[in-house]
């Protein structure tokens, strides 16, 4: 079968890598992809938001399955466009992708159906938001309602910081229309855990757990980013926690969406906080996390095509989802200055070191080819992933592998997975 993957980051490189393992797959396309993905798939120069062009390409090239990796096209309704043209596509329709597309919607959904989450209020009026903040207990969390590249969440320790954040989101419109509505949320403390799940509208199957590191600098300092590294599994996601989440969060979310007439087929990413009162939902995403996909997919034993087709066909209950009994750690190599300002176009050396090495992966995120050479082309450049018998070994191998590659301005956090040591 022929498969088209839509997206251009490390997540899509991880998806393409898994797709290529399937004996059912004869050809892989990726639109628009990146230089690393181009070594595995034929790159298609169509942007992720050009829905009709992508659908026409899929029709013209007899593509059997399209996998949408990115949030923007999902929230924008790409699945609806593909389905209207009789094309088979993996991902939630627009009315279900709102689970990620609107934080205000998802908070209201959790409140209505009793899914544990932080206390909150939604505001579309900056003056009323300011009045609320002036009497709120600090710290608080401010969230732009819509998509913001994983950066629209501000943790504010003082009233002054909160008022600055309100100005940034709602008045200065740093995140554009995503800041038309803002969620003000109580600050939760505890361990953060990410759990990716497959859904077919009725059945939900959790993958192995992971833990992301969002902040730009060591010790969780600096600005929020799209993710600076991750590890899997999380030792804090115990059997007891897993059972609670499956009964009170995961299935409850799928059932709630179905009751709202928003059948969810695809990936639901649960960002969880393990508080003293029990697990609570921090956020939902409607697709694979990045870089979480880079540690979860390499550990999955199933044929990814089988699982995705079961999600589309409503037969996920027949799939026995299995993961290797090991661990994986991903360290993101970024361009110095990310997530604010950084330079591009620097040559990347040492990529050949990964060739033929089992348990090591170099997932490209922001890379391009220039005069036949790999160069930096984004804030997050590479995701260096390694598997080990346990988290300690995987971490040691991942950091060892970060030394194999180099480029000007190479930057990384040095404490990915420190919580597990």
pLDDT tens-digit map of 370-397: 999 999 999 999 999 999 999 999 999 9
Which percentage of the chain shows pLDDT scores above 90? 95
Of 26-30, 142-146, 414-418, the range with the highest mean pLDDT is: 26-30
Is the pLDDT at 93 greater than 80? The verdict is yes
* Residue with tokens 């997540």, as numbered in its chain: 11
- Rounded to whole angstroms, the Cα distance separating 320 from 161 reads 47
User: Which domains are seen in the chain, by residue range?
Assistant: 2-93 (3.40.50.20), 119-186 (3.30.1490.20), 191-318 (3.30.470.20), 329-420 (3.90.600.10)
pTM above 0.75, yes or no: yes
- pLDDT for 363 equals 98
Query: How far apart, in Å, are the Cα atoms of 21 and each of 16, 17, 317, 320, 391?
Result: 9, 7, 23, 18, 24
**What is the spatial distance between Cα 215 and Cα 226, in angstroms, rounded to a whole number?**
9
How high is the pLDDT of residue 324?
98
Question: Given this model, what pLDDT does residue 310 score?
Answer: 98
Residue 151: pLDDT band by 50, 70, 90 thresholds?
confident
Say if strands 229-232 and 327-335 run parallel, antiparallel, or are unpaired. Answer: antiparallel
pLDDT at 144 over 80: yes
Residue 186 has pLDDT above 90, yes or no: yes
Q: Which helix (H) or strand (E) holds 21?
A: helix 10-21
User: How far apart, in whole angstroms, are the C-alpha atoms of residue 142 and residue 154?
Assistant: 5
Segment 83-88 mean pLDDT: 98
pLDDT score at 1: 98
How confident is residue 256, by pLDDT bands cut at 50, 70 and 90?
A: very high
In tens, the pLDDT along 105-127 reads 999 999 999 999 999 999 999 99
With a cut of 80, say whether residue 150 has pLDDT above it.
Answer: no
The maximal CA–CA distance of the chain, rounded, in angstroms, is: 60
pLDDT of amino acid 149: 73
Taking the mean position of all CA atoms in its chain, how far away is CA 24?
A: 26
What is the per-residue pLDDT for 83? Answer: 98
In this predicted structure, the answer to whether residue 36 has a pLDDT above a threshold of 90 is yes
Cis peptide before 291 (omega within 30 of 0): yes
């Amino acid at each position: 079968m022929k498969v088209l993957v839509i997206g251009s980051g490390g997540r899509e490189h991880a998806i393409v890598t898994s797709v290529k393992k399937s004996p059912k797959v004869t050809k892989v396309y990726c639109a628009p992809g990146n230089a690393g993905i181009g070594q595995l798939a034929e790159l298609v120069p169509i942007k992720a938001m050009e829905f009709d062009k992508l659908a026409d390409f899929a029709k013209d090239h007899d593509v059997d399955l399209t996998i949408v990796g990115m949030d923007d096209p999902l929230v924008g309704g790409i699945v609806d466009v593909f389905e209207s043209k009789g094309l088979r596509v993996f991902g939630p329709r627009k009315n279900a992708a709102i689970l990620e597309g609107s934080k205000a919607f998802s908070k209201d959904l959790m409140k209505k159906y009793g899914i544990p989450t932080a206390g909150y209020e939604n505001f579309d009026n900056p003056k009323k938001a300011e009045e609320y903040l002036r009497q709120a207990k600090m710290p608080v969390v401010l969230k732009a309602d819509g998509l913001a590249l994983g950066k629209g969440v501000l943790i504010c320790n003082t009233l002054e910081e909160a008022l600055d954040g309100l100005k940034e989101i709602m008045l200065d419109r740093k995140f554009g229309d995503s800041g038309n509505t803002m969620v003000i949320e109580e600050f939760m403390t505890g361990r953060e855990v990410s759990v990716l799940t497959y859904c077919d509208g009725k059945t939900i199957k959790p993958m192995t757990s992971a833990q992301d590191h969002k902040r730009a600098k060591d010790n969780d300092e600096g600005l929020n980013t799209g993710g600076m590294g991750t590890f899997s599994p999380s030792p804090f996601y115990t059997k007891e926690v897993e059972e609670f989440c499956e009964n009170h969060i995961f299935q409850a979310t799928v059932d709630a969406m179905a009751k709202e007439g928003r059948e969810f087929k695809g990936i639901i990413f649960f960002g969880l906080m393990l508080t003293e009162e029990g697990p609570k939902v921090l956020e939902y995403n409607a697709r694979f996390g990045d870089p979480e996909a880079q540690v979860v997919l390499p550990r999955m034993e199933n044929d990814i095509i089988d699982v995705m087709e079961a999600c589309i066909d409503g037969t996920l209950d027949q799939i026995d989802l299995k993961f290797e009994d090991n661990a994986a750690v991903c360290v993101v190599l970024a361009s110095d200055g990310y997530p604010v300002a950084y330079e591009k176009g620097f040559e990347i050396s040492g990529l050949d070191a990964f060739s033929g090495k089992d348990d090591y992966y170099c997932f490209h995120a922001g890379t391009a080819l220039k005069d036949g050479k790999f160069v930096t082309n984004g804030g997050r450049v590479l995701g260096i992933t390694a598997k080990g018998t346990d988290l300690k070994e995987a971490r040691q191998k991942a950091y060892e592998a970060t030394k194999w590659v180099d480029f000007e301005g190479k930057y990384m956090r040095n404490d990915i997975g420190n919580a597990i040591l």
